């Protein structure tokens, strides 16, 4: 379960970076060269999703919980926005959902 969770966090980070870099280009007038590492990051994101040992729908469902928590940590660390107790509660609930779905992968 720990390996799966860490893989999900790496996957979420790759997706967020792949979307954040074009955002910098479009919204903050940064260099269009940011699109190259963004494309590489999104390709990494897709590849990382294939490393999970479950059917794609289950992987996507469980991944969603980790994505929510990772996006909130990104919001705090990169965007500098203070998280509310509601943010933390939502992240905890999302992660609990991921854990429940991923725990079921080993059962028929």
Domain ranges for the chain: 2-106
The predicted structure's pLDDT at residue 68:
95
For 11-34, write each residue's pLDDT tens digit: 999 999 999 999 999 999 899 999
What's the pTM value of the predicted model, to 2 decimals?
Answer: 0.84
The model's pLDDT over 28-74, given as tens digits with 9 standing for 90+, comes to 989 999 999 999 999 999 999 889 877 788 888 888 999 999 999 99
CB 63 within 8 A of CB 4: no
| Angle between the N-to-C axes of helices 35-49 and 2-28, in degrees from 0 to 180, rounded to the nearest 10 | 160
108 pLDDT band, cuts 50/70/90, is: low
CA–CA distance, 47 with 20 (Å, rounded to integer): 19
State both tokens at 92: 């905890």
């Amino acid at each position: 379960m720990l390996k799966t969770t860490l893989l999900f966090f790496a996957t979420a980070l790759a997706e967020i970076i792949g979307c954040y870099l074009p955002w910098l280009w479009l919204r903050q007038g940064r260099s269009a060269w940011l699109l190259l590492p963004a494309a590489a990051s999104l390709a990494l994101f897709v590849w990382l999703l294939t490393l999970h040992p479950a059917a794609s729908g289950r992987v996507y469902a469980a991944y969603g919980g980790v994505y929510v928590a990772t996006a909130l940590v990104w919001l705090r660390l990169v965007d500098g926005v203070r998280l509310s107790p509601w943010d933390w509660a939502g992240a905890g609930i999302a992660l609990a959902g991921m854990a429940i779905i991923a725990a079921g992968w080993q059962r028929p």
